[in-house]
Amino acid sequence: MDLLTVAGVAAGAAASVVAAPVVLGAAGFTSAGIAAGSYAAGWMSSAAIANGGGVAAGSTVAVLQSAGMAGLSGAFSAAVAGVGGAVGGLIGSLF
């Protein structure tokens, strides 16, 4: 693995973990709950309609809301870093 690929993996992993809370908040998954009129509110509404009136525990909406309210767990941070590192490594390998 060359130096640019390694740098891309490291930068991608770090940037994705730092950006994840910002992106969650911008989408409407806030520490106070789902923001009215946001993308998250529309997604939650669709999930509730599809599930007969409630959002299923463990669904994507539920997991993202949990992360928005409580912050990223260790496992969630590791998953985000893994994806960010893979994307960063791919970009680094192209240069």
What pLDDT digit, counting tens, does each position of 33-80 carry? Answer: 899 999 999 999 999 999 888 888 888 888 888 888 888 788 888 988
Local confidence band at 93 (pLDDT 50, 70, 90 cut-offs): confident
Burial 18-52 (b: 16+ CB within 10 A, else e): eebbeebeebbbbeeebbeebebbebbeebeeeee
